[in-house]
Structure 1
């Protein structure tokens, strides 16, 4: 079960959660031995404290969930949160969809290079969020072609969970057809059941972000996986 639990970044990113909910969420996620947790950034010191006696990391979303801040702001966020604790293991960076929709591919490329290089220089895992729910197939394929060749990117992530629809199986099929085995895929946005996870794994996904991670792991446990 430990192997299954480490497939999950357990997330609680609703804008109206209170401290008590966050404490309960982190404790349950640590009990399940998830890969990492992600909570509203104001509670990062609390997450550092509550994960301190575990190998559970902390994910910070950069320019989350809209992604249209200038590159310099994203870099400042990475620098700031890296300074807080080595428990912060991952940065999930929302790329600039305004630039994508403007076909400003040089901007997109240069921003991804900048944020991924700084993230790796800080010794953290870099995930780039492409927000598949707001892209057409051409945009998704082109983005994956760019990401395929940027060495410092560790994962390509499907979404923030704040998009207009969940991630679909077809989204991952398209991404996998371009990324191949060069870049692992993190699926996030609408992941609620063990059956979904199994199907996405068959399609080539490697990691999941979900607010239902604890429940999904329990589903696997009940199956004796």
Structure 2
């Protein structure tokens, strides 16, 4: 990890995100324009906003969002439709209750259903909602995501009352599957210092809604 992270290097790790239920097509158009200006990696939107053109940026969408309590077949269908409409990446929410109950076979089956409906080239990120889970459950969910063929594990939706990303959760995820899966920290990251701490803890992707404010804290 370099002593100084540059603005451009951090931008290249960012999913510039707009998932508010009141978001309009005009809001998404503004998000895409800002993403191009900031040089971020991807935009992340709700699947109902597809299809869209994002220029040089990748397009990520969510599935089973934000509760994760959708039937696995519904999540799989939602993800597959998004892919057909141009999504490059899918961020799916697991059944958090299954993880809390220790039913990691159900978590595995849920992820397998979504992964099985997507092309190999489509990136699958698995949202664990880590603030609602203990350490053992986080580890088991990371391992389930790896076994199911996911590409990333992700901390949070940003909508759960228990909170968003923490450095301790990111560090545990990185210790469990880092180097094999990507680690996305998302939820409540609003400053450059917070982003830097997530990266230093092992995050390889950041989900940000206030991207400009975070990037402004890094040197050119």
Provide TM-score, normalisation by structure 1.
Answer: 0.87
Match of 1:147 among 129, 145, 148: 145
2: CA distance, partners of 1:184 / 1:147: 11
Q: Residues 114 and 42 of structure 1: is their aligned pair in 2 closer, same or farther, counting only changes over 3 Å?
A: closer
Could you list the per-position Cα deviations for residues 128-166 of structure 1 after superposition, in whole angstroms to 9, with x for gaps in the alignment?
00010111222112212323434x211000011111212
Alpha carbons 1:186, 1:205 under 8 Å: kept? yes
Distance 1:141 1:18 in 2: 37
Aligned position for 1:6: 12
**CA distance in 1: counterparts of 2:37 and 2:88, whole angstroms:** 19
- Match of residue 89 from structure 1: 88
* Aligned match of 1:197: 195
Q: Identify if the C-alpha distance between structure 1 residues 180 and 27 changes in structure 2 by more than 3 Å, giving closer, same or farther.
A: closer
Q: Which runs of 4+ in 1 moved over 6 A?
A: none
Does residue 60 of structure 1 match 2:66? no
Gap regions ≥5 residues in structure 1: none
For 1:71, the equivalent position in structure 2 comes to 72
Q: Is the 8 A contact 2:47 2:63 kept in 1?
A: no
Matched with 1:103 is 102
What is the rounded CA distance, in whole Å, between the counterparts of 2:112 and 2:25 in structure 1?
35
| Alignment pair present for 1:21 and 2:19 | no
Q: State how far apart, in whole Å, the 1-side matches of 2:164 and 2:83 are.
A: 30
1:176 and 2:168 aligned: no
Q: Alpha-carbon deviation of 1:198? A: 1.4
Contact 1:158 1:167 survives alignment (8 Å): yes
- Mapped contact 2:60–2:89 kept (Cα < 8 A): yes
